[in-house]
Chain A
Amino acid sequence: MLRRIWNRAEFAASSAWQNFWRNATVSVAGLLIVWVVLLALGSLLLGLHSLDEVVNVEKSRASVISIFLADSTPLSSAMDFKAHLERDPRVSAVTFVTKDQAMEKFRQMPALSPEVVESLGTNPLPASLDVTVHDIRDLAAIDKEVRASPLVDKSPATNYEPSVIDKIILLARVAGIAGLVLIIALTALSIFIIMLTIRTAIYLRRKEIEVMKLVGATDWFVRWPFILEGIMTGGAGAILAVAIVGFGYRPAVQNLQSVLIFVPFFYDPNFLRVVLAAMLAFGMFLGVFGSYLGVRRFLHQ
């Protein structure tokens, strides 16, 4: 029994290996297209995941609104205003930030060189009340109310910027749809090319297949070498893509972090592992499905 299984496996593997090299051009084309699909898939998944995390961070940031106070506002009025806001049921916390504290925060922004800060001379930053709300959907109403107060600075009155999150979500959605369309197109193309690879291999082996059928080989015995060839092609493309994404993800994130300093990009090794596994599985699937299609029509006379 073992010997029989070994015979089958050895026959399928050596035939598949021969097939792959006998029409190397088409095989390599199949491998490359799988590679490209998986690179696209991997990058898209990681990219969307990063955007998703950015959205989450921005959402938690967005539940805080800074109300900038006019420089002329006396401290007591500011404290009254703070108490007034704290009584509001929609508000969970209010922090008073003085002009000096604002300046201190500003100084710590990594993108600014100290010279720029020094050149400002007097402190242009306003004091603020940082209001945290329970539900970010109340922000717009609070923003509108506080703008009416005479204590509030007019340029600008608050840092309320409703469109930022929406823009990120929109970006994620557009990138997701565009990526998905691209991947679907590339997937179809790669299945087609693998099918072509297998058809070519079958054509080159037509004499052998004819003999196999005549002497009574089963359909699956005839099919296995070609299915295996598909798995090999898909698997090799997948391994190349997995290596590139696996080793390239961390440097890519670090690069982005240094370019887009205000955007909170993270390196997420757990998600990376999921993505790599998905890429490998998808590569195998492309190989199996393409070769199945290639084998199906020809052998079913």
Chain B
Amino acid sequence: MVSTMVSDATPLITFQNVSKTYPNGTEALREVSLDVPRQDFVFLVGPSGAGKSTLVRLLIREERATTGKIFVDGQELGRLKRRQLPHLRRKIGIVFQDFKLLPNLTVFQNVGFAVRVTDGELRHLKPKVEEVLSIVGLDGKEKKFPDELSGGEQQRVAIARALVHDPKIFLADEPTGNLDPATSWEILQLLLQINARGTTVLMATHNREIVDVMRRRVIAIESGRIARDEDAGGYHAQANLESR
């Protein structure tokens, strides 16, 4: 694939007046514009149904924007052909609240699966899988099955799988939603570590404590609009916090 030359100054992700209306009439996003520079770490917050998940789906082009343009790494997603989607998705690692591990495969096989089904370099499969498993701190658990692991460990496997293609963007959709506070912090540390290695991280979350403590960039979405976009923000707007 021919990749357009993109300087480091251009944002990795750009939304230009993006609206998304589902066929049933639901307006999930309205006129959303935002830039995410390379190596940024962004929290995406907002009530359930506000449009966070739609934003994630638009980024991996599981959905198309109704109007407006989305650019990822210099490519306009609306112009991508269906057969180009796999290449987009290999640039984006994604994890969810429910991990989406395959229960009949071991930890090693779950991570290796992502290499196998994408025609990845098989000679490097084993070292690559071992490398990402050690990044997420699961060395020695290669032969375990998902149901033999704790929730936090399962999410680590999912993170390892998302890292196996060396993604430019790491999307985490409520990654700590099923985890206890201590484990959530461990996962967050891992995401910070991934971000420190140069990967742009977007994390959609309801976890107020994490957002408030981290003081990173926060994009708040309410009723499909960007209600707030501030660096070093909290879960709620400053005015809200003070009134409490």
- Interfacial residues, chain A to chain B (CB-CB below 8 A): 3-4, 7-8, 11, 207-208, 210-219, 221-222, 301
Tell me the bound Cα distance from A207 to B146 in angstroms: 14
Q: Judging by beta carbons under 8 Å apart, are B122 and A215 in contact?
A: no
Tell me the bound Cα distance from A216 to B169 in angstroms: 14
Q: Indicate whether A213 sits within 8 Å of B89 (C-beta atoms), given known contacts A207-B100, A219-B82.
A: yes
- The residue on B at minimum CB distance from A215 is B114
Q: Judging by beta carbons under 8 Å apart, are B118 and A215 in contact?
A: yes
Q: Judging by beta carbons under 8 Å apart, are B118 and A214 in contact?
A: no
Tell me the bound Cα distance from A216 to B117 in angstroms: 8
Q: Judging by beta carbons under 8 Å apart, are B100 and A7 in contact?
A: no
Q: Judging by beta carbons under 8 Å apart, are B102 and A216 in contact?
A: no
Write 22 A-B pairs (CB below 8 A) sorted by A numbering.
A3-B123, A4-B119, A4-B122, A7-B116, A7-B122, A8-B119, A11-B116, A207-B100, A211-B100, A211-B113, A214-B89, A214-B94, A214-B100, A215-B117, A215-B118, A216-B87, A216-B88, A216-B114, A216-B118, A216-B165, A217-B86, A218-B118
Q: Among the interface residues A4, A215, A217, which one has the most CB atoms of the partner chain B within 10 A?
A: A215
- B38 interface residue per 8 A CB criterion: no
Tell me the bound Cα distance from A221 to B118 in angstroms: 8
- B60 interface residue per 8 A CB criterion: yes
- B161 interface residue per 8 A CB criterion: yes
Q: Judging by beta carbons under 8 Å apart, are B90 and A215 in contact?
A: yes
Q: Indicate whether A3 sits within 8 Å of B113 (C-beta atoms), given known contacts A208-B102, A215-B161, A218-B86.
A: no
**What's the minimum C-beta distance from A268 to chain B, rounded to whole angstroms?**
49
Tell me the bound Cα distance from A218 to B123 in angstroms: 20
- The residue on B at minimum CB distance from A300 is B82
Contact residues in B for A214 (Cβ distance below 8 Å) = 60, 89, 94, 100
- B143 interface residue per 8 A CB criterion: no
- B83 interface residue per 8 A CB criterion: yes
Q: Judging by beta carbons under 8 Å apart, are A210 and B100 in contact?
A: yes
- The residue on A at minimum CB distance from B60 is A214
**What's the minimum C-beta distance from B174 to chain A, rounded to whole angstroms?**
15
Q: Judging by beta carbons under 8 Å apart, are A217 and B118 in contact?
A: yes
Q: Beyond A7-B119, A214-B100, A219-B86: 8 further Cβ-contacts under 8 Å?
A: A7-B116, A7-B122, A11-B117, A207-B100, A214-B89, A215-B161, A215-B164, A217-B86
Tell me the bound Cα distance from A214 to B171 in angstroms: 11
Q: Judging by beta carbons under 8 Å apart, are B119 and A221 in contact?
A: yes
Tell me the bound Cα distance from A227 to B113 in angstroms: 20
Tell me the bound Cα distance from A221 to B90 in angstroms: 14
**What's the minimum C-beta distance from A9 to chain B, rounded to whole angstroms?**
12
Contact residues in A for B116 (Cβ distance below 8 Å) = 7, 11
9 closest cross-chain pairs (CB), A and B = A216-B89, A216-B90, A215-B114, A217-B117, A216-B86, A212-B117, A218-B86, A216-B118, A3-B122
Tell me the bound Cα distance from A222 to B165 in angstroms: 18
Contact residues in A for B100 (Cβ distance below 8 Å) = 207, 210-211, 214
Q: Mark B208-229, 1 if CB is under 8 A from A, else 0.
A: 0000000000000000000000
Tell me the bound Cα distance from A11 to B117 in angstroms: 8
Q: Indicate whether A221 sits within 8 Å of B122 (C-beta atoms), given known contacts A207-B102, A210-B100, A214-B100.
A: no
Tell me the bound Cα distance from A4 to B83 in angstroms: 19
Contact residues in A for B117 (Cβ distance below 8 Å) = 11, 212, 215, 217, 221-222
Q: Mark B194-217, 1 if CB is under 8 A from A, else 0.
A: 000000000000000000000000
Contact residues in B for A11 (Cβ distance below 8 Å) = 116-117
Q: Mark B90-103, 1 if CB is under 8 A from A, else 0.
A: 10001000001010
Contact residues in B for A216 (Cβ distance below 8 Å) = 85-90, 114, 118, 165
Contact residues in A for B119 (Cβ distance below 8 Å) = 4, 7-8, 218, 221
Q: Among the interface residues A4, A207, A212, which one has the most CB atoms of the partner chain B within 10 A?
A: A212
Tell me the bound Cα distance from A213 to B117 in angstroms: 9
**What's the minimum C-beta distance from B114 to chain A, rounded to whole angstroms?**
4
- The residue on A at minimum CB distance from B103 is A207
Tell me the bound Cα distance from A11 to B60 in angstroms: 25
Q: Indicate whether A219 sits within 8 Å of B118 (C-beta atoms), given known contacts A210-B100, A213-B89, A214-B94.
A: no
Name A219's contact: one of B83, B113, B161 (CB within 8 Å): B83
Tell me the bound Cα distance from A210 to B119 in angstroms: 17
Q: Among the interface residues A4, A8, A211, A221, which one has the most CB atoms of the partner chain B within 10 A?
A: A211
**What's the minimum C-beta distance from B9 to chain A, rounded to whole angstroms?**
27
- The residue on A at minimum CB distance from B96 is A214
Q: Mark B107-121, 1 if CB is under 8 A from A, else 0.
A: 000000110111100
